[in-house]
Structure 1
Amino acid sequence: MSGITCRFAPSPTGRLHLGHAYSALSAYDFTRANGGRFLLRIEDIDEGRSRAAFADAIFEDLQWLGIRWDAQPLFQSTRRTAYAQALETLRSLGAVYPCFCTRRDIAAAPSAPHGPDGPLYPGTCRHMAEADRERRMAAEAFAWRLDAQAAAVQTGPLSFTNLGRRVEVDPGRLGDVVIARKDAGTSYHLAATVDDAFQGVSDIVRGVDLLPSTHVHRTLQALLGLAAPDYHHHALIAGPDGERLAKRNGAEPLADLRAKGWTAADVRTELTRLAASRASADLA
């Protein structure tokens, strides 16, 4: 095998659908074409929504698609100590601060800038006095946010490679994102960054909707002294209504397609058709 290591990292909060299949097969085919190792990670840090039955269904669906992984799947729920250590490093660097604002507070803030997915955090708690922070941390729920400005000062200019092209990191692309919540001890951004390094992932194939998050992940890699993978963000496929295939849009589960008599080859054929249709729409 080559030095390439790639992964697919679904969350066990529902059944996989064609959108997941496109991303999983894109990563798998890329890995096998380069003679690399393919890993599976189950991102189950959301205890309120994650279900063991969905994890089992992920294994079943991927195996049906012909996808095989080269090591035991990694469950993020077993990695909380590693995330806590990474958070402590960020705290020691002064790169995070506690935030007591709710989502409603942020949405109502007149100074909240807008990002790719809506209002960004306006930095309300960033300059809170230390005594006030300590008092409120002892009595209130809070999250740890990345101080994007402080982080940028520490790391200096950064870049990452996407599809072979160098991309300059925008530290404020997603604002001061949540790095850890009091109830979970981590977030997607922190857990994914730490685990990609832990698993030796060299190349990440994922949807272009996560491209903004890569600016955060590259910043965290630099702060934590972790290697930077190469990224390959692919376009998203859409259904007949033009909406991206997602759980919230009611995308049909692979299990339902299988029950209708679909084969893995049928899935690949449909994904090729949908990808070509999306490409035509983008050129229109």
Structure 2
Amino acid sequence: MTAITRFAPSPTGYLHLGHAASALFCAKQAGLDGRFLLRIEDIDQTRCRPEFLSAIYEDLAWLGLRWEDPVRIQSDHFADYQNVLDRLTEMGLLYPCFCTRKDIQAEVARIGNAPHGPDGALYPGTCRHCSATERAERIEAGESYALRLDMDGAIKQAGPELVWFDRALGKQIATPQIFGDVVLARKDTPTSYHLSVTHDDHLQGVTLVTRGQDLFFASHLHRLLQELLGYDVPEYHHHGLLTGADGKRFAKRDKSKTLRSMREDGTTPPQVSELTQLT
């Protein structure tokens, strides 16, 4: 089957060697007969900047990568994600959470030995049982809130064992409960990474999701959302992470390793390819 892959950076800084490794790996998996897509994940409008978006196009073209047009820019499609949220609401699987981080930390500390997941302590469910009247009144009063997924209800609706396939690790059984009642949208950010990426991969017909091992656990949650929404299930390949001499992952704040600075210093695309081999 012809592979359809996608590279999906966020324009919150200049691309670095780690991004180059991921983009080149993704394009390689598409092969000569596949399709390589570029998607701009810019849902965090407070951190994304136009100059970083322009640099993404410049850096990837400099590497010799070519992608299909049009590029899907997520901030142009907030209405799409709202429709997905509406569907989950109609299924009775979303609820507003008015807790601040301070509120959650205090409740977790009170409970003691709170269960933890990939993102830290799980949300203790403080707002899960608020009445419909209380929720409406607090929203009407202008309180900030997040929309959380009722994980127990979602798993019940999804049915028994959910599986997905990772090309590096084989068959996987999804355990989305490790995220607890995860946030899928906020009042000031109308979608989350988990919701938007799951929707877009389905919409764009992506058949192979390639991303770093640091996002491995996210696939457990995405598999649940796919089942709830009736979406196609792609294969996955969670590749290794590129690190520096100190063993730490490259970060956008490490300016000396941005593709922009390397290009200005005379580094060539073939040299970048040699430095960015992943499996």
Q: TM-score, normalised by structure 1?
A: 0.91
How do residues 139-154 of structure 1 correspond to structure 2 at under 5 angstroms? 139=141, 140-154=143-157
Asked if the contact 1:18–1:251 (Cα under 8 Å) also holds between the matched residues in 2, the reply is no
User: In structure 1, what is the Cα distance between the partners aligned to 2:251 and 2:217?
Assistant: 18
For the pair 1:245 / 2:213, whether they are aligned, the reply is no
User: In structure 2, what is the Cα distance between the partners aligned to 1:261 and 1:24?
Assistant: 21
Asked if the contact 1:155–1:223 (Cα under 8 Å) also holds between the matched residues in 2, the reply is yes
Match of 1:97 in 2: 95
* 3-state SS in 2 of match to 1:247: coil
Per-residue CA shift, 1:31-84, capped at 9, x if unaligned? Answer: 125x21010000111111111111110000001111110232110011111101
Match of 1:72 in 2: 70
User: In structure 1, what is the Cα distance between the partners aligned to 2:3 and 2:179?
Assistant: 29
User: In structure 2, what is the Cα distance between the partners aligned to 1:56 and 1:196?
Assistant: 23
Asked if the contact 1:149–1:171 (Cα under 8 Å) also holds between the matched residues in 2, the reply is no
Post-superposition offset of 1:113: 2.5
How do residues 45-60 of structure 1 correspond to structure 2 at under 5 angstroms? 45-60=43-58
Asked if the contact 1:98–1:133 (Cα under 8 Å) also holds between the matched residues in 2, the reply is yes
Give aligned pairs, total.
Answer: 272
Counterpart code for 1:79: H
* 3-state SS in 2 of match to 1:15: coil
Post-superposition offset of 1:251: 6.5
Q: Percent identity?
A: 49
User: In structure 1, what is the Cα distance between the partners aligned to 2:40 and 2:172?
Assistant: 28
User: In structure 1, what is the Cα distance between the partners aligned to 2:81 and 2:48?
Assistant: 18
* 3-state SS in 1 of match to 2:250: coil
User: In structure 2, what is the Cα distance between the partners aligned to 1:120 and 1:62?
Assistant: 38
* 3-state SS in 1 of match to 2:244: coil
User: In structure 2, what is the Cα distance between the partners aligned to 1:202 and 1:125?
Assistant: 37
Asked if the contact 1:7–1:38 (Cα under 8 Å) also holds between the matched residues in 2, the reply is yes
Greater length-normalized contact order (CA 8 Å, ≥ 6 residues apart): 2
* Structure 1, unaligned runs of 5 or more: 280-284
User: In structure 1, what is the Cα distance between the partners aligned to 2:256 and 2:86?
Assistant: 39
Post-superposition offset of 1:30: 0.8
Per-residue CA shift, 1:65-122, capped at 9, x if unaligned? Answer: 1111023211001111110110000001111111111222223322442222322222
Match of residue 158, structure 1, among 157, 162, 168: 162
Post-superposition offset of 1:259: 0.8
Post-superposition offset of 1:183: 1.4
Per-residue CA shift, 1:176-225, capped at 9, x if unaligned? Answer: 11101111211111111111111111110000111111111111111111
Match of 1:16 in 2: 15
Match of 1:127 in 2: 129
* Structure 2, unaligned runs of 5 or more: none
* 3-state SS in 2 of match to 1:180: strand
Match of residue 211, structure 1, among 216, 219, 237: 216
User: In structure 2, what is the Cα distance between the partners aligned to 1:134 and 1:61?
Assistant: 47
* 3-state SS in 2 of match to 1:173: helix
Post-superposition offset of 1:269: 1.2
Match of residue 117, structure 1, among 99, 116, 119: 119
Alignment RMSD (CA, Å): 1.7
User: In structure 1, what is the Cα distance between the partners aligned to 2:238 and 2:47?
Assistant: 26
Counterpart code for 1:16: L
User: In structure 1, what is the Cα distance between the partners aligned to 2:254 and 2:222?
Assistant: 27
